[in-house]
Amino acid sequence: MSPHLLVIDDDTRLAAMVSDYLGAAGFRVETAASGEAGLARLAEAAAREPFDALVLDLSLPGMDGLEVCRQLRATHDLPVLMLTARGDATDRIVGLEIGADDYLPKPFEPRELLARLRALLRRRVAPRSQGSKPPLRFGRLEVDRDARVARIDGAERALTGHQFALLVAFAENAGRVLTRDAIMNLVKGEALEAYDRSIDVHVGRIRAAIEDDPKKPRRLVTVRGAGYVFAKAQD
């Protein structure tokens, strides 16, 4: 079945353009002109025909994209691509920190939007088509690659798709210092070309999920001037 996509954007002309372009590429696209309407549509579709991905404008009237994303992450784990016309990188970083998987500045080329969405969806469905992989265990931490969840003492920790893919790359290479280039190679096919610009943000979010004290990380450690290393021995 073709991917089911929701676009939340108050720019009706842009939403129509995106809908037409992605529809021609094989997507089934619905649109909503406000955050409130978008969340309502997500809730309605959840039980019958859930969406596979969300394109979310940051600058919405009333409830903005950041608040939509924050509420969404309480109940949904679908990939979120955030659109932003703002030049301040802080807005994009905050979006990533609260659960967006990627962002795309406006104006954008429709082909780039399509490529990024396909990358998000490939990452989401790829594990289902691969053979079963045993969970990776590091002390109290379990990284379940089949279920795509991380657990501490059996309790699931919230991570976006990009963050989990990055955690898996670290965990599968525990004890090895990974440079930015090495990380890019390891997550190739799961992340986007612009992914390196948000690695540090995602690392911070991973630490918030798996570290006892994110300010003093013991599992995912920074190696100054080199990159990051995931500790083999953990409590």
- Give tens-digit pLDDT for 180-195: 888 877 776 444 444 4
151 and 67 share a domain? no
Taking the C-alpha atoms of residue 93 and residue 85, their distance in angstroms, rounded to an integer, is 14
- Give tens-digit pLDDT for 25-74: 999 999 999 999 999 999 999 878 899 999 999 989 899 998 999 898 88
Pick the last residue of a domain from 129, 162, 183: 129
What pLDDT, on a 0 to 100 scale, did the predictor assign at position 157? 87
Tokens matching residue 187: 């997550």
What pLDDT, on a 0 to 100 scale, did the predictor assign at position 200? 81
What pLDDT, on a 0 to 100 scale, did the predictor assign at position 7? 97
State the DSSP H helix or E strand holding residue 145, giving kind and residue range, or none if neither. Answer: none
- Give tens-digit pLDDT for 119-175: 888 766 654 445 578 899 999 999 998 888 899 999 988 787 778 888 999 999 999
Q: Is the pTM of this model over 0.75?
A: no
105 and 191 share a domain? no
What pLDDT, on a 0 to 100 scale, did the predictor assign at position 222? 94
Sheet containing 177-178, strands listed edge to edge, beginning at the edge strand earlier in sequence: 177-178, 227-230, 220-223
123 and 140 share a domain? no
Q: Which residue has the higher pLDDT, 98 or 41?
A: 41
Over residues 209-225, mean pLDDT: 93
**What's the CATH number where 36 sits?**
3.40.50.2300
**What's the CATH number where 211 sits?**
1.10.10.10
37 and 55 share a domain? yes
Number of domains into which the chain is organized: 2
Whether 21 has a pLDDT exceeding 60, the answer reads yes
Task: Report how far apart, in Å, the C-alpha atoms of 193 and of each of 94, 103, 197 are.
Answer: 20, 12, 9
Taking the C-alpha atoms of residue 19 and residue 6, their distance in angstroms, rounded to an integer, is 9
Q: If we measure between CA atoms, which residue out of 194, 177, 185, 155 comes closest to residue 230?
A: 177
Residue 119 lies in a domain: yes
Q: Which residue range is the domain that position 155 belongs to? A: 136-230
- Give tens-digit pLDDT for 70-91: 898 887 778 899 998 765 666 6
122 and 9 share a domain? yes
75 and 169 share a domain? no
77 and 96 share a domain? yes
What pLDDT, on a 0 to 100 scale, did the predictor assign at position 195? 47
104 and 208 share a domain? no
Pick the last residue of a domain from 129, 154, 189: 129
Whether 226 has a pLDDT exceeding 80, the answer reads yes
Q: If we measure between CA atoms, which residue out of 133, 128, 186, 130 comes closest to residue 162?
A: 186
- Collapse the DSSP code of 3 into the 3-class scheme (helix H, G, I; strand E, B; otherwise coil) and give the result: coil
Phi/psi for 230 (5° steps) reads -100, 120
